[in-house]
């Protein structure tokens, strides 16, 4: 293994030339350079390079735009460890808020012992981003450089089937639209279904049995 300044580290996987695939006992191996950061902190998510972690006025760390961003531009792809909602009890308490529900019974949890940049998106009751699928975060409108990127946690949180875990959080987003409390029932609020149509996590938008049963979304 050889270091090149602060930027990269050359990983020698097998004898051979850099960038040359080597066939050894039926396996192909490569020399490749990886950013130093990923050697010391393995990341499981992707964050648009126009975004950066910064300190929000009231909500601790947050994610901010450092350049203008266009509506529907991809902002983040979330990764991590897939776990049952009840398994959240087993991760350290200080990491439990860095989980994201991706299905009625499952969350994406931290894969390591420290949060990644994508773990720092705050909630707003008047957000500028939303979901495509379950793990893609996109801009819901044009966003100006300097703005904090937020989504409404109700886009991903719903009552967890077969679990006694209940999600509820006091909201301090400060928006005139603030509901003061964020709950796992909020996704059913008709006004929010209209406002966030197409930006709820896919499992809520299309798969929630109660959404189908009561024709939520279909009647809008
Ligand atoms: C995914 S983390 C976001 C990053 C967090 N600000 C930090 O510094 O680690 C979620 C946590 O941030 C805080 N948070 C995010 N949005 C909030 C809001 N609108 N009102 C109050 N707390 C919020 C809550 O403590 C929540 O559990
Ligand atoms: Zn709020």
Q: Report the separation in Å between the CA atom of 60 and the middle of ligand 1, taken as the mean of its atom positions.
A: 7
6 and 58 housed in the same domain: no
59 Cα: distance to centroid of ligand 1 (angstroms): 6
Q: Residue 198: left if φ>0, alpha if ψ -120 to 50, beta else—which one?
A: left
Q: Is residue 105 located within the same domain as residue 51?
A: yes
- Is there a single domain that holds both residue 36 and residue 93? no
Q: Which ligand is nearest to the CA of 172?
A: 1
pTM score, whole prediction: 0.81
Each residue's pLDDT tens digit, 103-132: 999 999 999 889 999 999 999 999 999 999
Q: Which domain holds residue 25?
A: 2-40
In a domain, 146, yes or no: yes
Are 76 and 174 members of one domain? yes
The model's pLDDT over 3-21, given as tens digits with 9 standing for 90+, comes to 222 233 333 333 333 333 3
**Cα gap 56→38, rounded to integer Å:** 26
CATH number of the domain encompassing residue 138: 2.170.270.10
- pLDDT, position 165: 86
* 33 and 100 part of one domain: no
Same domain, 60 and 32: no
Task: Please give the number of the atom of ligand 1 that sits closest to the Cα of 153.
Answer: 16
Ligand 2 center from residue 124 Cα (angstroms): 5
Same domain, 54 and 120: yes
Does a structural domain hold residue 12? yes
Mean pLDDT of the chain: 81
Based on the domain organization, do 93 and 60 belong to the same domain?
Answer: yes
40 pLDDT tier (thresholds 50, 70, 90): low
- CB count in 10 Å sphere of residue 128: 20
Check residue 9 and give its pLDDT: 31
Give the total number of structural domains in the chain: 2
% of residues, the chain, pLDDT over 90: 65
> Could you give the CA distance from residue 66 to residue 1 in angstroms, rounded to a whole number?
35
pLDDT above 80 for 30: no
Q: Are residues 33 and 123 in the same domain?
A: no
Residue 155 vs residue 57, higher pLDDT: 155
């Amino acid at each position: 293994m050889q270091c090149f300044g602060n930027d990269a580290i050359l990983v020698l996987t097998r004898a051979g030339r850099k960038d040359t695939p080597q066939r050894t006992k039926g396996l192909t191996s490569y020399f490749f350079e990886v950013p130093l950061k990923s050697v010391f902190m393995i990341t499981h998510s992707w964050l648009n390079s126009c975004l950066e972690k910064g300190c929000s006025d009231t909500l601790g760390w947050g994610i901010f735009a450092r350049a203008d961003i266009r509506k529907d531009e991809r902002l983040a792809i979330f990764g991590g460890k897939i776990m049952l909602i009840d398994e959240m009890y087993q991760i350290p308490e200080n990491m439990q808020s860095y989980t994201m529900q991706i299905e009625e019974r499952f969350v994406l949890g931290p894969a390591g012992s420290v949060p990644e940049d994508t773990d720092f998106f705050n909630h707003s009751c008047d957000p500028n981003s939303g979901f495509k699928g379950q793990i893609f975060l996109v801009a819901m409108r044009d966003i100006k450089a300097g703005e904090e990127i937020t989504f409404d946690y109700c886009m991903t949180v719903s009552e967890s089937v077969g679990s006694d875990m209940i999600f509820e959080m006091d909201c301090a987003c400060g928006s005139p639209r603030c509901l003061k409390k964020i709950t796992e029932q909020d996704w059913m609020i008709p006004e929010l279904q209209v406002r966030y149509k197409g930006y709820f996590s896919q499992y809520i938008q299309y798969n929630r049995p109660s959404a189908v049963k009561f024709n939520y979304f279909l009647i809008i």
